[in-house]
Amino acid sequence: MSGNQNYINHVALVLDASSSMAGLSHKVVEVADRQIAYLARRSRELDQETRVTVYAFADQVECVIYDKDVLRMPSLKRLYRVGGMTALLAAALKSQHELAETAQLYGDHSFLTFILTDGQENASHRCRDAGDRGPEGMTEAVASMIRAQRDNWTLAVLVPDRRGRQEAVRCGFPEDNVAVWDATSTRGLEEAGQVIQEATEKFMIGRTKGIRGSRAVFSTGADAVNKETIEAAGLTPMEQEAYELIPVTDAVAIRDWVVASGRAYRSGGAFYQLSKAEKIQARKRIAVLEKGTDRVYEGPEARALLGLPDAEARVKPDHNDDFTIFVQSTSVNRKLVTNTRLLLML
């Protein structure tokens, strides 16, 4: 076969359907349906074929939709039912093993799976998909499977607390592919859906640049923001005469600090250093600073680099020795953080 190969994405949602999810079941369907609609829209816009698989797990693991064209997906309303315990590891194993059976002929295929759970593993060793493995055998089987996955596989999990995060990492999930969500409220589930959408955006934009998989879908750290990913995103450094970096030594409003530094303040021209988790609006521009050279990269591609959709999204700073994230301020009263820097566009 000659010519360009199609980008073909295989996206799987593996959803906890244990009894503890009963109070959130309607919201699970709403969030999942919204994610599927988003996938359909972005697939059209980016000219990527996307196929969706959905698993639900409780005492057993059930595939309710397998590798279906995202443009023909039904609602999950009649397919998602809760009741039972939490066979989380069995769900990870079954979903990945069955997806590995998917044909990958003639095309650039990539696999992205999100597992969402509100509790701890407690039933996999009794699940019919476990074979004769005990609890530790299931843990080792998942870790071995993840180690063996190729570069076009991305497996991520959302867990309810720090203990869940520790267990996921112990089972072999890459640290930056594990996120914690608030499993106690519908608002928490809404935010989890937003996290999944942001990670999917990063994945799909990366696909356009030849990136096939990621071990840092929930990160702004070194695995996600580095020289290779910046180049893949199509970012080029700004002319150094176009900006200035100003040290922040006092926690004052952003306009006051610009003026106190002897510069003129222009609305939208000042960027603050991202220093804590916060929501960033769709209209906000993003800049990336290379620490060693003070080179700055800015443009729409910078939002895509972080996986930010065209909507408000939550972002947190992760450890990165080489790069720093800056966010455009549209408020004159934005309070700066001491021992950071201010990026001023000239």
Q: What is the pLDDT of residues 238-290, one digit of tens each?
A: 999 999 999 999 999 999 999 999 999 999 999 999 998 888 888 899 999 99
Helix (H) or strand (E) holding 312: none
pLDDT of residue 2: 43
| Structural tokens at position 222 | 């070194």
Q: CA-to-CA distance for 205 and 211, rounded, in angstroms? A: 9
Q: CA-to-CA distance for 151 and 153, rounded, in angstroms? A: 6
Q: CA-to-CA distance for 119 and 17, rounded, in angstroms? A: 11
pLDDT over threshold 60, residue 3: no
Say if pTM beats, i.e. exceeds, 0.75: yes
Q: Euclidean distance between the first and final Cα of the chain, in Å?
A: 51
Q: What is the pLDDT of residues 284-309, one digit of tens each?
A: 999 999 999 999 999 888 887 887 77
323-328 and 270-273: which strand pairing? antiparallel
- DSSP class of 237: B
What is the average pLDDT value for the chain, to the nearest integer? 92
Instruction: Give Dmax (Cα) for the chain.
Output: 72
From start to end of 215-277, where are the E strands? Answer: 243-248, 270-273
User: Which pLDDT band, with edges at 50, 70 and 90, does 1 fall under?
Assistant: very low
Q: CA-to-CA distance for 184 and 286, rounded, in angstroms? A: 32
- Percent of the chain whose predicted confidence (pLDDT) is above 70: 99
Our measurement of the distance from residue 133's CA atom to the centroid of its chain's CA atoms, rounded to an integer in Å, reads 31
